[in-house]
Amino acid sequence: MVGCGPSDELQQVDDRPNIIFIMSDDHAYQAVSAYGHGLNNTPNIDRLAKEGALFTRASVTNSICAPSRAVILTGMHSFKNGKVDNIQPFNWDQENFAKALQRVGYNTALIGKIHLNGLPQGFDYSNVLPGQGSYYNPDFIENGETKQIPGYVTTVTTDLALDWLENGRDEDKPFLLMYHQKAPHRTWMPEEKYFTLFDDRTFEPPANFYDDYEGRPAAANHEMGIYEHMDIVYDLKMLDKEGELKTKYREYFQGRYDRMDDEQKAAWDAYYDPIIKEFKAANLAGKELAHWKFNRYIKDYLRSIQSVDDGVGQLLDFLEANGLDENTIVVYTSDQGFYLGEHGWFDKRFMYEESFRTPLLIRYPKEVKAGAKLDQLVQNLDIAPTFLDYAGIDIPADMQGESFRAVVSGETEMFRDHAYYTYYEYPAEHSVMRHYGIRTDQYKLIHFYHDLDYWELYDLEEDPTEMDNVYGKPGYAIVQAALHKKLEEVRLAYGDSDELNEGHLNRYLEYQRSRGR
């Protein structure tokens, strides 16, 4: 029998694919041009769709920043990994897929936003934003040491990622790079070169912008309306020098503005001051004000994305120039979706499609057919086991996600028949009530609880914008009963329950009380 020597083992390690996981923050699938909504043009992200696969119905398990990231790392639902909301701490001591890759010889790096407290574990190198991070002259925490880096955060993050690829990694090992952008997270502060992008265009709000939420009391309870709740200064940059526009969050945006150096402020003022002057003179109200706010929001949001797309292009060009593109898996996604005026909203949190769904694209020339469009109900829960599968690592029994490697390779079309969702951060900002639910190919069943005990059912073929709650309506009794049964089976299988929900609520309220809230 011929044995395997050290050189043979090294060669086996070298043959394993590199992995680059690109994640932005709050990037709506509607704002990736490959999804066909016509809002903007993202040619570099689109390259992943042209040269790889695009998932049309990928979703998250909990549409809020930190919990989503915890799910991605651990491959476990929020109620399993313990990070159910943005407020309570995350336990880095538990297993994550980066640790598993690191143990088998991968060189691992995390660069950009992670929004999880504590020093990241599982990474040979980390250089992350504290908390939400800042758009201009951001602080970064490099392997535990905080330092400020001049520049625009999206560009800085890309430069750090490219520098690690070129100078920081061990070229004798396969690598994992988690490259995470802050943008386009609120407050949507664009890069100078994109200040005027879309100035020649007026965007029409979505058809349900003036949703009256009939039959949906949980939706009516929101505090995320563009017209009602979007802050003129904090969100829309109307920081007038006279101080006449006094808003709830003015001082918070002042702090973001004050991070700029004199040159950055001069460029910012040259663009925004005329807009501020015009806005104050117009004295808008009603629908005129609503449409103005929508356009100011959507333009800055999309401008922020343009810099993200530039970074993706730089990274893909680097891989090609250095002969790394064939053996590198590249994934692009967001930590959740986002409302771009649908239902009159911004932000996320609800299980409705725009925040539940997320962009997900994957390129791996060795296995993924170029131009594939896939409609399986994959979730961010599935990213960890998929990466372990590619690396040849057994998927731990306590990981609740499933590998979608065989789906993107074309070996099978079979995948699970549901997506499960939970949301816990209430009472809190934006006032989205606690809920859980299940989505199948055609239907979605949601249960709002705690302050409200209310069910919603949507037929996504007949009502893709989720305006008509058909729960309890004639014609849906059989579907409704089947979905209730399916929901209970899924909750039991994952280990979720009403008792767990009650425990999460009590811990959340106690934690808030301990912080004087």
Give the DSSP per-residue string, 443-469.
EEEEEE-SS--EEEEEETTT-TT----
**Phi, psi of 329, deg, nearest 5:** -80, 125
Q: 289: which 2 tokens?
A: 């004000």
Mean pLDDT of the region 58-79: 98
CA torsion sign for 471, 475, 477, 483 is: negative
Pair 456, 218: CB distance under 8 Å: yes
Does the pLDDT value for residue 176 go beyond 50? yes
User: Is the predicted pLDDT of residue 416 greater than 60, yes or no?
Assistant: yes
Q: DSSP secondary structure string, 199-234?
A: TT--PPPPTTTT---TT-HHHHT-S-BHHHH--TTT
Q: What is the pLDDT of residue 5?
A: 40
Q: What is the CATH number of domain 14-188+304-411?
A: 3.40.720.10
User: Of all helices (H) and strands (E), which one includes residue 18?
Assistant: strand 18-24
Parallel, antiparallel or unpaired: strands 175-180 and 125-129: unpaired
Confidence (pLDDT) at 13: 46
- One-letter amino acid at 208 equals N
Q: Are 329 and 51 in contact (CB under 8 A)?
A: no
Strands (E), 35-150: 53-55, 107-113, 125-129, 139-142, 145-148
DSSP string, 387-431: HHHHTT-PPPTT------HHHHTTS-----S-EEEEE---SSTT-
Q: What is the pLDDT at residue 516?
A: 77
Tokens of 379: 């979730």
> Residue ranges of the domains in the chain?
14-188+304-411, 207-296, 421-514
Average pLDDT estimate for 24-28 = 98
Neighbour tally for 514: CB within 10 Å: 8
Nearest to 25 by CA among 103, 112, 104: 112
Question: In this predicted model, what pLDDT tens digit does every residue of 129-154 receive, in sequence order?
Answer: 999 999 999 999 999 999 999 999 99
Structure tokens at 305: 């994305």
Which of helix, strand or coil describes residue 80?
helix
Q: Could you say which architecture CATH assigns to the domain 421-514?
A: 2-Layer Sandwich (3.30)
Confidence of residue 1 (pLDDT cuts 50, 70, 90): very low
Pairing of strands 454-459, 125-129: unpaired
Pick from 107, 29, 101: nearest CA to 63:
29
Q: What mean pLDDT is predicted for residues 378-404?
A: 98
Phi, psi of 364 (to 5 degrees): -155, 95
CA distance 426 to 449: 10
Q: Give the closest residue to 170 by CA, choosing from 13, 23, 332, 325.
A: 13
Q: What is the average pLDDT across 28-34?
A: 98
Q: Measured at the alpha carbon of residue 423, what is the angle toward residues 57 and 361, in degrees to the nearest 5?
A: 25
pLDDT category, 422, cuts 50, 70, 90?
A: very high
Handedness of CA 83, 88, 89, 91 (dihedral sign): negative
Q: Could you report the per-residue pLDDT of 84-129, keeping only the tens digit for each?
A: 999 989 999 999 999 999 999 999 999 999 999 999 999 999 999 9
Q: Distance (Å, rounded) from C-alpha 30 to C-alpha 52?
A: 19
Mean residue pLDDT of the chain comes to 96
Query: Which helix (DSSP H) or strand (DSSP E) does residue 274 occupy?
Result: helix 262-282
Whether residue 460 is predicted with pLDDT greater than 70 in this model: the reply is yes
Say what the pTM is.
0.96
b/e 106-120 (16+ beta carbons within 10 angstroms → b): bbbbbbbbbbbeeeb
Percentage with pLDDT > 90 across the chain: 95
Q: How confident is the model at residue 14 (pLDDT cuts 50, 70, 90)?
A: low
298 pLDDT more than 70: yes
The strand pair at 53-55 and 372-374 is best described as parallel
Percent of the chain whose predicted confidence (pLDDT) is above 70: 97
Nearest to 164 by CA among 184, 143, 185: 143
- Section 30-44 average pLDDT: 98
Equal CATH topology for 14-188+304-411 and 421-514: no
The structure tokens listed for 172 are 């004798």
Closest CA to 65 of 129, 137, 144, 151: 129
